[in-house]
Structure 1
Amino acid sequence: MDNMRKIILATVLVLLLLNRVEAQFAKGTYLTGADIGFGANTADNLQGSVSKATSYRFGAAVGKTFNGSRFWGVRINFNASQSKLGDVVGTRSNTLGGGVFMRQYVTIAKDFYAFGQASADVGVGNNKSLQPNTTNLVTVARSTNVNLSVAVGASYRIYKKMHLELSLPNLALTYYQHMRSFNNAGNVSGKSSHFGLETAFANNSGLNNVGLGFRLLL
């Protein structure tokens, strides 16, 4: 699966770089739709247990084109992830956010398009962790995030106004995060802020998340 994702990514990037034929939709066309994503990693540790990390993503967006190929719009997104050691959930986190995006389409063949998308989002997150010697998950941190990201994908027109698409979100991501940590009593125990930069190539984490969705062009 990892090799397939890398092939998809490389193919889309090459098409975007080499194909200069901008897609032409009617000016004033609206774009709306939703997408879902899923990722999973499994590893064996030295104690013989299996650790698993899973992530889920849902997003919805609406935009409009003024030149026939570039769409500007707003979007919302929800991300959730958890890690397990054996059958025990160790951590769980979720983030809810929204922002603005710009998406550029290019034509590859009849009814087949590639696209690149840049987004700016703001979100709030909640992180929970397993209490020692219990099975209870308690909130250990809450965060506020500001993200700038780049995604690529491919889109195929399956009906006159409906497109099915496959995307690789967070090809590149830069972010600012402010976090508040909590102790077992639920009181704030610390605050921190930091900037970060991630790419899908750094540790293959981004390549483990593929989005599948649809778009309506009205």
Structure 2
Amino acid sequence: MGVTAESRPVKAREIGKQDRLRGDAADWHSDYIDHAADKEDYDAWEKAIISRFLTETEIENLKKQLNELKQIADQNTQTYVSRLNHLYDIIHGKEIVLDETIAPPEAVVLARSLRKIRGEAKQKILLKGLLPKIVQAVWTRINVNSHYEDVCEIVYAAETIVNRMEQNEEKRLKATIAGISAHEDEQDVELQRQKRSFPNLKN
């Protein structure tokens, strides 16, 4: 194919660079730049190249990745959420943001409805894939009316709380171990003292 979701440029200014593209993708890129109305519009470039090169099978594979997405043990929640949003946007396209002060009322209603549908879908994936220790803290802080963006902020806060609890627990554990070690040292000293006193007792 010549391009994958992982090899795509990540900044608008990189549209003009072809070093990451090979074969058909590089040819397509050159043609796109020749005819693009706005050569710095990365979103339009991204949408066009995905539409051109991603097959139905690849889209299905991305959907599977999204549905099975899990936060791994050493991954922070912001990285996990970013990956979720990225996969969702590749599959379903980025959300269209309207200026509600000038948009027709029916367009505003439709945009809000679509935003709610997207949010509910992403929220379901988000909560299903979170580490158990974090999702437990999240469930106590969300309600049925929480929007996806609000839930993401709750997730970030929950991660901070869980990390602090773990740090405090680790400190308590270390203090306990240190206390036990000190007590054992004291016992060893006392035992040695008693051994040294035995000859005197026999005399």
Q: TM-score range by the shorter chain?
A: under 0.3
Higher relative contact order (CA 8 A, sep 6+): 1
Structure 1-normalised TM-score?
Answer: 0.20
TM-score, length-scaled by structure 2: 0.21
Larger radius of gyration: 2
Greater percentage in strand: 1
